[in-house]
Amino acid sequence: MKLKCSGTQPCMRCDNQRKICKFPPEERMISVQESYLRQLEEGCSINHHSRRSGPIQESSVKEHSSDSHLETSALNPYASATGDAIDQSRPTGSSRQHTAGNDTTQLGPDGGNGLIFRHNPLADNDYTFAKAPDGRYFYMGPSSSWSFCRRVLALIGKHVPESNYLPDPWHLDGVAFKLHWTSLRSDEVPDTTNLPPLDYALFLFNTVKFYFGHLFYIIDEPSYLQHLQELYKDPATKATSSRLWYAQYLLILAFGKAFVVQSSSQEGPSGSQYASRAMALLPDLSGIYCEPLDSIRALALAALYFQSIDMRVAAFQHIGQALRVCIVQGIHRHMPEEVVGAQHSRLCNHVFWVVYMIDREFSALMGGPMSIRDEDITTELPCHHDHSLEALNMTLHIRLSRLMANILTSSSQRLFAFGLANSRAAVYGVGRDFEGSLIKNTQSILRQLAELSKEVTALLNTHFQGSINRASRMALRLILSYHHCVVLTTRPLVMCALHMHIERPDTQKFRSIPLTPAVASLIQSCVDSAQTVLRVLRVIGDEDLLGSSVAPLRKLELTQLEQLLTPLTPVYDPLMVPRQTDDPEDRAGGLATASEEPGWDFFDADMGVGISPTELLDLAAQLDADCWG
């Protein structure tokens, strides 16, 4: 007689018959996206929280007069924080007592309002497209500093009408200065009049070399100087036979004059007449591949010049075209010396990496995605074939550019050997995969920053000891690039806090927002990095080594923004933000007014890159505890 398995475990019937129990598994295993799993966890957390505080929420429903209002507030990550306040006197993750009359709101990732800190408000929201006074619509790039200022001004104007909101100055592309030129036909002779003497041209060349730093790797110095001698022997012949090199020469003159004579007129910055001549020599897209390396150099220099005069769209387009020429010529791939020759391999390597870094930087400034995946690049890093300080410095800048790409755009690299996919998080990613992932992705970037900061600090401590060496432009560029990555990573959290602060009830407007220690520390890190950038730039500016024609526009925007935010800024409460040092005056006093700064002596201290790798890793771990603890 056949006995049916009882389904229990162990099964007495099967044991008596000495048979193996066979029954279907309790659950069918499925695979889901991690972001979807996090959303389910958040929903369970909110439901569990609702069951524990039912009577309080019932009174809250009556106070707000409808269930639909609460439903909308829970689903909308930017809804007003007018619900129940949460007592923060208890540690994160413990049970909390709700008080209807409390004036503070907990913004930790584990609270209901903490959902705001799971979404990047800069990636996609109502301010993604803005209408300018002339009726045109402009895309507000998520990582663009220009767009960030526009977003903040729009947010204040919408929610705080009593703030004496002034119209946005906009300062659209090309407002600072519009460069004009007329393209020359290929059979026309370039203009060689009013060129500076050879010795002054050499002086301007070395000036640009000093200011450009690692970006000057794009110029082949021996070849350039040889062409320069030939130009001054027969200007018309050389300019006609080497049009693209002549364009580079004119752009070097334009940059050099702008650096040496730091003043502008109605006609534009000093040397702009040379830039206009250079732009007229650039070939159209059909003729750009005749001299590929010279084309890339001319396009990259043109992009840098456009950026310097605030023609950002033209700059982005020119560097994008330079990168595409690199791809067409294959110099993003490793070029074996035994095949193409050692010199050509080295030149192509330097040219590509400079274009790569400029493209990454301009993409971040425009708020655009990356133009090429790192997985498609096989050319070696400069430090692999050159162990000089310059090559090591350039390698660190490349790695910072790669980190910037990770911050802006996600990518996945297949690990075929194990059949796994290794995803790299993006703080500014869009789509379903990034819903509710801001904290997690910020955590991932913090760990990468910690690893990279070790190498940057090691380079500074090894090669730039003492106050004089610390003031080296090579060291300053590394420090500025690092802090730019910190600001890009943490700025979305600042915007989250600004949304919560502005959208609170009027009775809470002048109270500080209590934050979890991890989020507060991250926001403080963003502020510290931004202030470090300003301090370094101010020191350089005091030595007349900084300045551009668009700086007054940026200063005007920041001044206006400060005036708008001053009435809304709560009185500073040192107890609300956790300190990373034992001395409470270290940070407040260390970032004091410009009159207290001692010029180059600012670098007397053992200045690393700011927050230490250990502190970054601690912040990442603390975020993990706040989110899922």
pLDDT at residue 589 in the model: 39
Q: What gap in Å lies between CA 278 and CA 282, rounded to an integer? A: 7
pLDDT at residue 114 in the model: 57
Q: What gap in Å lies between CA 551 and CA 530, rounded to an integer? A: 16
Residue 173, in any domain of the structure: no
When pLDDT is averaged across residues 146-152 and rounded to a whole number, the result is: 85
Q: What gap in Å lies between CA 473 and CA 212, rounded to an integer? A: 10
Residue of 41 and 376 predicted with greater confidence: 376
Distances (CA, A) of 515 to 145, 232, 275, 335, 500: 25, 65, 50, 52, 11
Q: Is the dihedral of CA 68, 72, 73, 75 positive or negative?
A: positive
Q: Is the dihedral of CA 429, 433, 434, 439 positive or negative?
A: negative
Q: With pLDDT > 70 as the criterion, what percentage of the chain qualifies?
A: 61
pLDDT at residue 151 in the model: 86
Which residue in this structure is represented by tokens 């919408």?
Answer: 158
- pLDDT at 328 > cutoff 90: yes
Lowest model confidence (mean pLDDT) among 39-43, 75-79, 173-177, 270-274: 75-79
pLDDT at residue 539 in the model: 75
Residue 84: closest CA among 47, 45, 120, 55: 55
Query: Which band of pLDDT confidence, cut at 50, 70 and 90, is reported for residue 101?
Result: very low
Residue 238, in any domain of the structure: yes
Is the domain of 381 the same as that of 516?
no
Residue of 391 and 603 predicted with greater confidence: 391
What is the rounded average pLDDT for all residues in the chain? 73
pLDDT at residue 485 in the model: 92
The type of residue at 605 is A
Residue 52, in any domain of the structure: no
Is the domain of 343 the same as that of 489?
no
pLDDT at residue 23 in the model: 52
User: Residue 361, Cβ neighbours under 10 Å: how many?
Assistant: 19
pLDDT at residue 9 in the model: 59
Peptide bond into 10 cis (omega under 30): yes
Residue 520: closest CA among 502, 495, 494, 483: 494
Strand locations in 555-602, DSSP E? Answer: none
Number of domains observed in the structure of the chain: 2
- pLDDT at 182 > cutoff 60: yes
Helix then strand count (H, E) for the chain reads 22, 8
Is the domain of 382 the same as that of 495?
no
Check: pTM over 0.85? Answer yes or no.
no
When pLDDT is averaged across residues 96-101 and rounded to a whole number, the result is: 33
Residue of 102 and 150 predicted with greater confidence: 150
- pLDDT at 290 > cutoff 50: yes
Q: What gap in Å lies between CA 146 and CA 491, rounded to an integer? A: 13
pLDDT at residue 147 in the model: 86
119: buried, middle or exposed (CB in 10 Å: 19+, 13-18, 0-12)?
buried
Q: What gap in Å lies between CA 77 and CA 499, rounded to an integer? A: 10
pLDDT at residue 1 in the model: 44
pLDDT at residue 586 in the model: 42
Q: What gap in Å lies between CA 439 and CA 11, rounded to an integer? A: 48
Lowest model confidence (mean pLDDT) among 40-44, 184-188, 363-367: 40-44
**In terms of residues, how long is the chain?**
629
Q: Do 609 and 479 contact (CB within 8 A), yes or no?
A: yes
pLDDT at residue 582 in the model: 43
Residue 490 structural domain: 482-628
* pLDDT (tens digit per residue) in 529-554: 888 888 888 877 777 666 565 666 66
Rounded to 5 degrees, φ, ψ at 456 are: -65, -45
pLDDT at residue 593 in the model: 36
Is the domain of 374 the same as that of 519?
no
Residue 38, in any domain of the structure: no
Residue 166, in any domain of the structure: no
pLDDT at residue 10 in the model: 60
Is the domain of 409 the same as that of 508?
no
Query: Which band of pLDDT confidence, cut at 50, 70 and 90, is reported for residue 165?
Result: low
Among candidate residues 405, 432, 459, the one where a domain is terminated: 432
Q: Do 85 and 98 contact (CB within 8 A), yes or no?
A: yes
- pLDDT at 507 > cutoff 70: no
Is the domain of 277 the same as that of 410?
yes
Query: Which band of pLDDT confidence, cut at 50, 70 and 90, is reported for residue 296?
Result: very high
Question: 148 CB contacts (<8 Å, ≥6 apart)?
Answer: 122, 491, 495
Among candidate residues 374, 402, 432, the one where a domain is terminated: 432
**Helix, strand or coil, per DSSP, at residue 9:** coil
- pLDDT at 188 > cutoff 80: yes
Residue 439, in any domain of the structure: no
- pLDDT at 135 > cutoff 80: yes
Is the domain of 545 the same as that of 406?
no
Q: With pLDDT > 90 as the criterion, what percentage of the chain qualifies?
A: 28
* pLDDT (tens digit per residue) in 475-498: 888 889 999 999 999 999 888 888
Rounded to 5 degrees, φ, ψ at 120 are: -85, 110
- pLDDT at 50 > cutoff 50: no
Q: What gap in Å lies between CA 110 and CA 108, rounded to an integer? A: 5
Is the domain of 257 the same as that of 346?
yes
Which residue in this structure is represented by tokens 């590394």?
Answer: 478
- pLDDT at 468 > cutoff 50: yes
Residue 106, in any domain of the structure: no
Is the domain of 327 the same as that of 406?
yes
Is the domain of 408 the same as that of 490?
no
pLDDT at residue 534 in the model: 84
Which residue in this structure is represented by tokens 């008080």?
Answer: 99
- pLDDT at 508 > cutoff 70: no
Token pair listed for 281 = 């020599």
Is the domain of 380 the same as that of 499?
no
Residue 379: closest CA among 394, 365, 369, 390: 394
Residue 274, in any domain of the structure: yes
The type of residue at 620 is A
Is the domain of 280 the same as that of 386?
yes
